[in-house]
Homo-oligomer: A and B are copies of this chain.
Amino acid sequence: MTDKIGFIGLGIMGRPMALNLINAGYGLVVHARRKESMEPLVAAGATACTSPAAVARQASMLFTMVSDTPDVEQVILGDDMASNAVIAGLQPGALVVDMSTISASATRIIAERVRSAGAEMLDAPVSGGDVGAIAGTLSIMVGGSASAFERARPLLEVMGKNIVHVGDCGAGQVCKACNQVLISQTIAAVGEALLLAEASGVDAAKVREALLGGFANSRALEIHGQRMLDQQYQPGFKSVLFQKDLRLVLEAAHELGLALPGAAQAAQLVNALVGQDNGELDSAAMFLSQRRLNGL
């Protein structure tokens, strides 16, 4: 049973990703904290395990897709003697692929522990949201050795489309943080542009259309700009997760002693959004914070 694939974390992202692996013909052993989360996978043919360690014992390659840094630490390293954690069950030469979005510096520490246990780790965070997870079109940013990347690549290609080996261990998480630095500010900029048009009495939809053809064009202007105009904030990508990702960005900036004032400011709009009980709305709802600030 050593050629089974493990999958730990079966939430809104992990579930469809694991299902895509099953549909591609891989035999899966899975674990999730809540039993109910495992049911659709078991129904599709996966074997449920009672712990991360049990998954690790049966799988030469295993994926983790959980919420945040402490969750990954808990699943892979455990918090005491690690008896239930992945590291307690790791096969020699196994490959752990963490697809969660977590701290790059914590990732490097976890990877070092995995290496000490005779296995290897890749960080492979994704972007594209649950829509991309279901469709198997996620962007996947990978950090770790080239050989581990090649080993995981056929499975990553089942889950995503734009798959880039960015660099060594942690580089995938750094790249994901850069992605959020960029997208948070681009969405905020789109919101400000539409606000300025509206406040000036000019048709914001016309302005968006005009700007799509020039240097101001971006995916955010195309997609999030349209959502703002339509006041359509079904996720997409939930603001509460965006808030978490931006916290990771600002923690990294703090650790590095690096000033990222633009990202810091964009994060405040997301903070305000979550604070107004809109954390379940799409990231484009940053526009609501900008509107509230201006009494609109």
Q: Note all chain B residues with C-beta closer than 8 A to A184.
A: 189
Q: Does A220 contact B (CB under 8 A)?
A: yes
Q: Which of A163-205 contact B (CB under 8 A)?
A: 164, 166-167, 170-171, 174-175, 177-179, 181-186, 188-190, 192-197, 199-200, 202-203
Q: Note all chain B residues with C-beta closer than 8 A to A195.
A: 258, 260
Size range of the chain A interface in the assembly: 35 or more
Of B199, B214, B265, which contacts A127 at CB under 8 A? Answer: B214
Do residues A210 and B141 form an inter-chain contact, with CB atoms below 8 A? Answer: yes
Do residues A210 and B164 form an inter-chain contact, with CB atoms below 8 A? Answer: yes
Given contacts A192-B260, A200-B252, A258-B195, A215 and B210 within 8 Å (CB-CB): no
Q: Does A64 contact B (CB under 8 A)?
A: no
**Chain A interface mostly:** helix
Q: In the complex, A184 Cα to B203 Cα: how many Å?
A: 21
Q: Note all chain B residues with C-beta closer than 8 A to A179.
A: 193, 210-211, 214-216
Q: Note all chain B residues with C-beta closer than 8 A to A209.
A: 164
Of B127, B178, B217, which contacts A219 at CB under 8 A? Answer: B217
Chain B: minimal CB distance from A273 (Å): 15
Q: Note all chain B residues with C-beta closer than 8 A to A104.
A: 200
Q: Does A206 contact B (CB under 8 A)?
A: yes
Q: Does A259 contact B (CB under 8 A)?
A: yes
Interface string of A153-170 (1 = CB under 8 A from B): 000000000101011001
Given known contacts A189-B262, A215-B219, what 15 new A-B pairs fall within 8 Å (CB)?
A128-B214, A128-B215, A141-B210, A162-B213, A174-B197, A179-B211, A181-B196, A182-B192, A182-B211, A185-B192, A188-B262, A196-B260, A214-B219, A217-B219, A262-B265
Q: What are some 6 contacts across the A-B interface (CB < 8 A)?
A: A164-B210, A175-B197, A177-B200, A179-B211, A182-B190, A218-B219
The 5 A-B residue pairs with the shortest CB-CB distance, nearest first, are A218-B218, A185-B189, A162-B213, A164-B210, A178-B193
